[in-house]
């Protein structure tokens, strides 16, 4: 019978990737906890309306990438394509953010029906951080400085670059949108196919079209920055002054608009040259309108998400060395000594010592092979011919010395 394969774009996590995943989970969880972020983990499945309303009906994600199905109660449900909408829903439902400053993090799988390739999957993991209740750019600088610190600690700071932009308020974007549509409508036939469609559904996204012909036409187009008012400019200027003071280098990218509708003011992406087309490792921005869009009172918010698989690819590309996970000790069991070995194993583990045991027995030679393979530093042998009679039945060998 033919064996059943996994779903395209949904991968098993094991081996080296799994070790990197565990390392990042621990690293990110402890870093963000130390920065006063709390864990908030909403479910993977939400009502479809949450994403349609939260992310925006005219986005690629909602239009063509969601895993949506009708359940047994005839309700339309969706595997979350991103985490922010679910976090806001949870905050409102649990009363977590009304008139409060709160910071949350979470890590888990997201689902998008995209064309799979290196760095782009249909099930992938994001680490997300979301901050509620602060409208000023200092919180944006704080978040970006945590990320800059993380890149340094992961030794990839030389391989990532920060791109930032401001897309202003809803009213400013509306003003730009009208001027932009007026400019592009007579040129519609010369735009790429996606941009032609977006001209009526989501014109802002035309700005980040990858089509060279479309990009050439945009050279003379009205700019979003020309539509920004004093307050929006001042907000962005202050953020930039903080980044300068923190010595966090950035590139201004006036074409950066992001693929989710909830953003306003600051948007950013950290990209790398080492991952081909899937260059964005971490991305986010300000989304002051989302909480009220989803039924809460107006609440400023800022957040970001990083793709864990892309981060793992980048760490592997840059030869990041994980700490050795081998046990310190490996116990080999002589025939008839298993009970004592199990007791010793339990005792050592109680003391926090990293140790493994050759359960399943086998010949001394095969146990030695297992000890070797485990990477342990020391071998513990109970019983055996050359133990010191009357003293102890325990012998410790330095495996490294013997094999060095």
Which parts of this chain interact with ligand HAM (CB under 6 A)? 82-84, 112, 114, 120-121, 124, 126, 128, 130, 259-260, 280-285, 287, 303-307, 309-310
Residue bearing tokens 């993977």: 44
**Tell me, what DSSP letter sits at residue 226?**
G
Residue nearest to ligand HAM (CB): 307
Closer residue to ligand HAM in complex, CB, 217/306: 306
Smallest separation, CB 240 to ligand HAM (Å):
20
What are the φ and ψ backbone dihedral angles of 247, each rounded to 5 degrees?
55, 40
Smallest separation, CB 159 to ligand HAM (Å):
14
Smallest separation, CB 6 to ligand HAM (Å):
15
Smallest separation, CB 39 to ligand HAM (Å):
15
Closer residue to ligand HAM in complex, CB, 61/348: 61
Closer residue to ligand HAM in complex, CB, 302/329: 302
Smallest separation, CB 16 to ligand HAM (Å):
18
Strand, helix or coil for residue 356: strand
Closer residue to ligand HAM in complex, CB, 129/217: 129
Q: Is 401 left (phi over 0), alpha (psi -120 to 50) or beta?
A: alpha
Closer residue to ligand HAM in complex, CB, 124/180: 124
- Would you list the DSSP string of 85-130? HHHHHHHHHTT--TT--EEEEEEEEEE-----BTTB-SEEEEEEEE
Closer residue to ligand HAM in complex, CB, 125/381: 125
Structure tokens, 217: 């036409």
Q: 239 and 217 in contact (C-beta within 8 Å)?
A: no
Helix-then-strand count for the chain, H and E: 14, 15
Closer residue to ligand HAM in complex, CB, 118/396: 118
Strands 251-252 and 280-286: unpaired
Smallest separation, CB 208 to ligand HAM (Å):
12
Strands 67-70 and 45-47: unpaired
Burial 199-219 (b: 16+ CB within 10 A, else e): beebbbbbbebeeeebbebbe
β partners of residue 15: none
Smallest separation, CB 331 to ligand HAM (Å):
42
Largest CA distance in the chain: 98
What are the φ and ψ backbone dihedral angles of 82, each rounded to 5 degrees?
-160, 170
Smallest separation, CB 336 to ligand HAM (Å):
53
Closer residue to ligand HAM in complex, CB, 75/138: 138
HSE-up (13 A, CA, CB side) for residue 56: 16
Closer residue to ligand HAM in complex, CB, 115/403: 115
Structure tokens, 8: 């395209």
Smallest separation, CB 123 to ligand HAM (Å):
8
Smallest separation, CB 262 to ligand HAM (Å):
8
Burial 103-142 (b: 16+ CB within 10 A, else e): bbbbbbbbbbbbeeeebbbbbbbbbbbbbbbbeebebbbb
Closer residue to ligand HAM in complex, CB, 224/313: 313
């Amino acid at each position: 019978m033919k064996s059943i394969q996994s779903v395209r774009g949904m991968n098993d996590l094991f081996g080296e990737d799994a070790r990197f995943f565990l390392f990042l989970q621990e690293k990110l969880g402890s870093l963000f906890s130390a920065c006063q972020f709390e864990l908030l983990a909403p479910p993977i499945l939400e009502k479809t309306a949450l994403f349609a309303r939260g992310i925006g009906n005219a986005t690629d994600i909602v239009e063509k990438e969601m895993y949506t199905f009708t359940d047994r109660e005839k309700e339309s449900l969706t595997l979350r394509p991103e985490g922010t909408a679910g976090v806001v829903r949870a905050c409102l439902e649990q009363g977590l953010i009304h008139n409060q400053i709160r910071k949350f993090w979470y890590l888990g799988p997201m689902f998008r029906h995209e064309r799979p390739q290196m760095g782009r999957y249909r099930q992938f993991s994001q680490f997300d951080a979301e901050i509620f209740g602060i409208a000023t750019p200092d919180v944006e600088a704080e978040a970006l400085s945590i990320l800059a610190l993380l890149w340094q600690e992961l030794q990839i700071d030389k391989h990532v670059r920060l791109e930032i932009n401001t897309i202003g308020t809803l009213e400013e974007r509306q003003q730009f949108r009208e001027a932009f549509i007026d400019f592009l409508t007579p040129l519609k036939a010369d735009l790429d196919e996606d941009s032609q469609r977006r001209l009526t559904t989501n014109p802002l996204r035309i700005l980040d079209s990858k089509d060279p012909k479309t990009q050439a036409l945009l050279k003379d187009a009205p700019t979003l920055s020309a539509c920004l008012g004093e307050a929006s400019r001042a907000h962005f200027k202050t953020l930039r002054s903080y980044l300068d003071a923190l010595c966090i280098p950035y590139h201004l990218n006036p074409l950066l608009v992001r693929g989710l509708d909830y953003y306003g003011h600051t948007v950013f992406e950290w990209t790398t040259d080492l991952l081909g087309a899937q260059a964005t490792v971490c991305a986010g921005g300000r989304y002051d309108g989302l909480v009220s869009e989803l039924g809460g009172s107006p609440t400023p918010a800022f957040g970001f998400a990083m793709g864990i698989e892309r981060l793992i690819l980048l760490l592997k590309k840059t030869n990041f060395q994980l700490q050795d996970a081998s046990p310190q000790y490996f116990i080999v069991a002589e025939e008839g000594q298993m009970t004592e070995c199990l007791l010793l194993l339990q005792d050592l583990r109680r003391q926090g010592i990293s140790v493994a045991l050759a359960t399943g027995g086998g010949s001394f030679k095969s146990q030695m092979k297992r000890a070797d393979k485990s990477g342990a530093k020391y071998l513990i042998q109970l019983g055996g011919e050359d133990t010191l009679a009357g003293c102890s039945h325990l012998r410790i060998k330095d495996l490294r010395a013997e094999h060095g």
